[in-house]
């Protein structure tokens, strides 16, 4: 009797990653002719997959597959394989799968090219309509969306030395194995081999489409001998924050906010919930939140009403949040946040990831299993948890004069709105108090806590003075009643200004932050 072929799975990719880690790193070499390597993004976008040539179009499955063409910085091919009945077969590059629009080049120049990445399509919004729900392109980057969502922030397989003063290393997926889905499959599984000068990795991804898209990830990462990374970034998320109510635009703009995410949420291993609003800082800012076996973290887009953004073109109200839910013990480490200055919304300037405190020796895999939830239902992330921060507003501090006209008092004010079941269900007259703290660079001038009936929650007004604008300022606040925690912890950072900034420029910058206008 013929022996059954063993099914291809994560174990095979782990073996390849381990062997690769034991060998010297070999940097891939570009195979692009000038017409593709010097291509601008506008022209790169013209190379679109032909809808009549989607992979699996002839099969009885709701999943379809299309590909990205090489070009620009996507200058080395990635190998893409299909797994059918346990057997692996390469999907050969075929320029006939693309519509090149009005691009002019010698078609012979495509004969030795390859794939740059792939897309997954599924009828998530309406039956029979192929919607793109996942994009895998460049280094170890990928993006996922659920029903009614549009692309925003990105995930990554691994980050190395992200946010440090030394150059960051960008590991890249070199090969993929995609399991052909059956007719009734509701999920799609694929595997990826990651390579970089100081690490390799084997990944299993299982994508389940829906109102919320869920991407289950199993990562097995190996260090290469020698050249130990200063920092491993696990489950990295990359996003964009230009401005919002907590840091208003320095120029007049009809959009109240431009961002793919407006805060970092953390559910620490000890049960504490933390909300850290994002900044667009004047220079690179780093934040670290120590934890052991975290229960979750993510970059969220809190606030879903269109009026928060007023942008008909880019629809920031439809961009998902991404929540990382660890499925095994991650040990001791920290959630790291990197904020980078940006002058416009075309640059991703926010990175969040888990950094383990200790790394195993080369040859021994680090094992990280987690689920990624791509969602627009942010309150559901904190179901059965404390009340959350609905919004953070920045303003000039003010007082009422004897004539009832409000006047600035020389302080910087933050208004923090808290909302949730624990606040809504409080009995009348419950003794709600605010626990407020700050680091030594902050003088807390005054606080005011009052009910906010418009949201069935509470508003905390927090007036401060910064002692030295060249030093970091840290603020924290949470609400409690009778010793019971009612809310997550609001944790805000005012990043330092460069010491090289002139006094006049510093004062102008601070004024812009206070009033949000020119």
SS3 readout for 478-494: EEEECCEECECEEEEEE
78 in Cβ contact with 202 (< 8 Å): no
- In CATH, what number is assigned to the domain containing residue 508? 2.60.40.10
Looking at residue 515, its pLDDT comes to 42
Among 338, 335, 423, 350, which residue's Cα sits nearest to residue 382? 423
3-state secondary structure of 173: strand
Q: Does a structural domain hold residue 506?
A: yes
Q: Does a structural domain hold residue 473?
A: yes
147 in Cβ contact with 210 (< 8 Å): yes
**CB-based contacts of 427, cutoff 8 Å, min separation 6:** none
Q: Which residue is listed with tokens 């792939």?
A: 118
Distance of alpha carbon 486 from alpha carbon 477, whole angstroms: 11
Q: Does a structural domain hold residue 9?
A: no
Looking at residue 313, its pLDDT comes to 96
- How far is the CA of 379 from the CAs of 256, 322, 323, 382, 483, in angstroms? 22, 13, 12, 5, 24
Q: Does a structural domain hold residue 311?
A: no
Maximum distance among all alpha carbons in the chain? 97
C-beta atoms surrounding 455 within 10 Å:
16
pTM of the model: 0.93
Looking at residue 295, its pLDDT comes to 97
Among 170, 63, 164, 169, which residue's Cα sits nearest to residue 118? 63
Among 163, 357, 372, 387, which residue's Cα sits nearest to residue 275? 387
Q: Which residue is listed with tokens 């080369």?
A: 362
Domain hosting residue 407, numbered range: 388-515
Q: Which residue is listed with tokens 């300037």?
A: 349
SS3 content of the chain, % helix, strand, coil (to 5): 10, 45, 45
Q: Does a structural domain hold residue 88?
A: no
Residue 30 half-sphere exposure, CB side, CA atoms within 13 Å?
A: 12
Distance of alpha carbon 208 from alpha carbon 108, whole angstroms: 39
Q: Does a structural domain hold residue 487?
A: yes
Could you give the residue ranges of the DSSP H alpha helices within 355-394? 378-381
C-beta atoms surrounding 144 within 10 Å:
26
Among 209, 229, 354, 379, which residue's Cα sits nearest to residue 294? 354
Among 275, 195, 284, which residue's Cα sits nearest to residue 472? 284
Q: Does a structural domain hold residue 281?
A: no
**CA angle, 474 then 339 then 150, to 5°:** 120
Q: Does a structural domain hold residue 496?
A: yes
The count of domains in the chain is 1
- How far is the CA of 123 from the CAs of 82, 120, 133, 137, 189, in angstroms? 21, 11, 9, 21, 17
Q: What is the pLDDT along the chain (518 residues), one digit of tens a residue?
A: 444 556 899 999 999 999 999 999 999 999 999 889 999 999 999 999 999 999 999 999 999 999 999 999 999 999 999 999 989 999 999 999 999 999 888 888 787 899 999 999 999 999 989 999 999 999 999 999 999 999 999 999 999 999 888 899 999 999 999 999 999 999 999 999 999 999 999 999 999 999 999 999 999 999 999 878 888 999 999 999 999 999 999 889 999 999 999 999 999 999 999 999 999 999 999 999 999 999 999 999 999 999 999 999 999 999 999 999 999 999 999 999 999 999 999 999 999 999 999 999 888 999 999 999 999 999 999 998 999 999 999 999 888 778 878 888 889 999 999 999 999 999 988 999 999 999 999 999 999 999 999 999 999 999 999 999 999 999 999 999 998 999 999 999 999 988 776 666 656 555 555 444 33
């Amino acid at each position: 009797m013929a022996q059954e072929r063993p099914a291809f799975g994560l174990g095979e990719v782990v073996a390849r990653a381990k062997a690769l880690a034991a060998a010297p790193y070999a940097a891939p070499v570009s195979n692009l002719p000038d017409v593709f390597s010097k291509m601008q993004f506008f022209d790169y976008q013209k190379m679109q997959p032909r809808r009549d040539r989607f992979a699996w179009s002839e099969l009885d499955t709701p999943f379809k597959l299309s590909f990205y063409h090489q070009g620009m910085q996507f200058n080395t091919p990635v190998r893409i394989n299909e797994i059918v009945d346990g057997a692996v077969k390469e999907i050969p590059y075929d320029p006939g799968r693309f519509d090149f629009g009005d691009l002019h080049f010698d078609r012979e120049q495509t004969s030795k090219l390859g794939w740059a990445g792939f897309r997954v399509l599924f009828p998530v919004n309406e039956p029979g309509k192929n919607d793109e729900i996942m994009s895998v392109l460049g280094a170890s980057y990928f993006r996922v969306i659920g029903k009614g969502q549009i692309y925003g922030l990105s995930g990554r397989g691994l980050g190395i030395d992200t946010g440090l003063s030394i150059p960051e290393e960008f590991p890249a997926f070199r090969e993929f194995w995609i399991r052909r889905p059956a007719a009734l499959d509701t999920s799609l599984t694929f595997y990826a081999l990651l390579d970089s000068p100081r690490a390799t990795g084997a990944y299993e991804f299982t994508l389940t489409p829906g109102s919320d898209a869920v991407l289950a990830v199993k990562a097995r990462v190996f260090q290469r001998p020698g050249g130990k990374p200063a920092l491993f970034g696990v489950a990295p998320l990359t996003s964009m924050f230009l401005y919002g109510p907590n840091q208003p635009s320095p120029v007049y703009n009809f959009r109240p906010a431009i961002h793919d995410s407006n805060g970092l949420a953390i559910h620490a291993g000890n049960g504490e919930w933390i909300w850290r609003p994002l900044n667009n800082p004047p220079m690179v800012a780093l934040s670290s939140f120590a934890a052991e076996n975290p229960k979750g973290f993510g970059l969220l887009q809190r606030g879903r009403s269109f009026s928060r953004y007023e942008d008909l073109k880019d629809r920031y109200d439809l961009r998902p949040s991404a929540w990382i839910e660890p499925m095994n013990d991650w040990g001791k480490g920290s959630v790291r946040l990197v904020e980078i200055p940006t002058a416009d919304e075309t640059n991703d300037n926010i990175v969040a990831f888990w950094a383990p405190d200790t790394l195993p020796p080369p040859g021994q895999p680090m094992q990280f299993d987690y689920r990624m939830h791509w969602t627009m239902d942010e309150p559901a992330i904190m179901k059965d948890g404390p009340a959350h921060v609905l919004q953070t507003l920045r303003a000039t501090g003010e007082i009422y004069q004897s004539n009832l006209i409000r006047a600035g008092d020389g302080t910087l004010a933050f208004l923090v709105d808290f909302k949730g079941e624990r606040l809504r269900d409080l009995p009348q007259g419950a003794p709600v108090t605010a626990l407020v703290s700050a680091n030594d660079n902050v003088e807390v001038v005054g606080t005011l806590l009052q009910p906010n009936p418009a949201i069935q929650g509470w508003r905390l007004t927090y007036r401060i003075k910064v002692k030295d604008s060249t030093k970091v300022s840290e603020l924290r606040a949470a609400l409690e009643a009778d010793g019971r925690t009612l809310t997550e912890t609001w944790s805000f950072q005012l990043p330092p200004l460069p010491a090289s900034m002139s006094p006049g420029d510093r004062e102008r910058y601070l004024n812009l932050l206070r009033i949000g206008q020119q």
